[in-house]
Amino acid sequence: MGVTLPALTPLEDSLWLTLCCRALDNRAPKPILGDAMADEIVRTLDYDYERLKIGTNLMLNATLRAKKLDEVTARFVARHPDAVGLDLGAGLDTRLRRISAPPTVDWYDIDFPAVVTAREDLIPSEPKAHAIGADVTEEDWLDAIPTDRPAIVTADGLMGFLTHDEMVALLNRLIGHLPSGEMVFNSYTPFAIWAARHSRGTKSVAELIKFPGFNDPREPESWNPKLQLVKEILFSREPEVAQFPTGLRLYYQLQSHSTAWSRKGTIVLHYRF
C-alpha cells in the first residue's frame, strides 16, 4: 500500500514511540494488549522501529498503560451508551476499535492537523469516529464536541508535552465544556519526568518534555472543584505484571510493597467530574 505521510514535527513524530510499543507487544507470544491495528500500521509503512531503541520495560509500560486506559474507557461507555469519548493527542492510536463501544457512542480523536491527515490515510473510517485536527492547548476545537452527553476523556502519552499551566487550563476547559464524566491519563512524578529525560528508550522525545510532574494524585483536585480522584493505578500492583519476564516481574513485585517507589514508575490517574 503506497501511503505517503505528511511531514511531521518532532512532537508529532512522538506518536511512533507508543505505536511501535503496541506493535511490538502484538508480536509477542502472549501480548499484553494485542493491538493488531498498531502492528498493521507499522508493517504497512515498514517503519524502522529499531531506531527508537525500545527496550522491553518501555514496551511493556507503554502497552500496559494503553490497556489500563482502555479498561476505564470500556467500563464508562458500557455504563453510558449515550457517551462521547475523547482521545487527546491520539496519534495513530485506535482506542475506539479496542474497546467495543456501543454503536451509539461518538468518539473524537484529537491531534495536530498533520497527524489527523495521516490517520485518514492509514486508518479505515468508522461511522461514529471523528477526527479533530487541533492543538489541544487552544480553545476552539472543543466547539465540535457535544455539551449534553456524558464524556470519557483519555490521553495517552500527551501530558508530558504540556506545561503545568497548559495542563491545568486544558482540564478546566474540558470540565467547563462537558456536563459530567471521567478522565483517565498517564501521569508522571518529578522523578519519572527526570527518568524520561535521561532514558535511552525515550531519547527521541527527551527535549520535548515540558511537564514538571507531581507526586500527589490528589493535586489535580485543587485545580478544579469538580475533579475527584477515582483511582491511582500503579503498575507494580496490576495483575499483568505476572506476565512480565522474570527480572522485571520480580522488580515490580518488590516495588509494589511501596507506594512511594511504585509512583516512580508508570502511573495512570482516573478522575470523575
Ligand X SMILES: C[S@@+](CC[C@H](N)C(=O)[O-])C[C@H]1O[C@@H](n2cnc3c(N)ncnc32)[C@H](O)[C@@H]1O
Contacting residues toward ligand X, per CB under 6 A: 11-12, 14-15, 17-19, 89-91, 93, 111-112, 115, 135-137, 156-158, 161
State the residue for C-alpha cell 461507555.
77
Cβ atoms of residues 265 and 248 within 8 Å: no
**Type of residue found at 176:** G
Q: Which is nearer to ligand X, 202 or 236 (CB)?
A: 202
Smallest gap from Cβ 66 to ligand X, in A, equals: 6
Please provide residue 222's backbone torsions phi and psi, each rounded to the nearest 5 degrees.
-80, -10
Angle in degrees, 0-180, between the axes of helices 246-255 and 56-79, rounded to the nearest 10: 60
Q: Which is nearer to ligand X, 6 or 81 (CB)?
A: 6
Q: Which is nearer to ligand X, 42 or 105 (CB)?
A: 42
Smallest gap from Cβ 87 to ligand X, in A, equals: 7
Q: Which is nearer to ligand X, 103 or 124 (CB)?
A: 124
Smallest gap from Cβ 89 to ligand X, in A, equals: 3
Q: Which is nearer to ligand X, 164 or 261 (CB)?
A: 164
Smallest gap from Cβ 83 to ligand X, in A, equals: 19
Q: Which is nearer to ligand X, 12 or 106 (CB)?
A: 12
Q: Which is nearer to ligand X, 157 or 220 (CB)?
A: 157
CA 5 to the chain's CA centroid: 22
Q: Given strand 84-88, what is the order of strands in its sheet? A: 129-133, 106-111, 84-88, 151-155, 181-187, 267-272, 228-234
**Type of residue found at 136:** V
- Nearest CA-CA partner of 131 in 139, 120, 122: 120
Smallest gap from Cβ 76 to ligand X, in A, equals: 17
Smallest gap from Cβ 189 to ligand X, in A, equals: 18
Long-range contacts of 34-38 (CB under 8 A, 24+ apart): 35/63, 35/66, 35/94, 35/98, 37/94, 37/97, 37/123, 38/92, 38/93, 38/94
Cβ atoms of residues 239 and 227 within 8 Å: no
Smallest gap from Cβ 18 to ligand X, in A, equals: 3
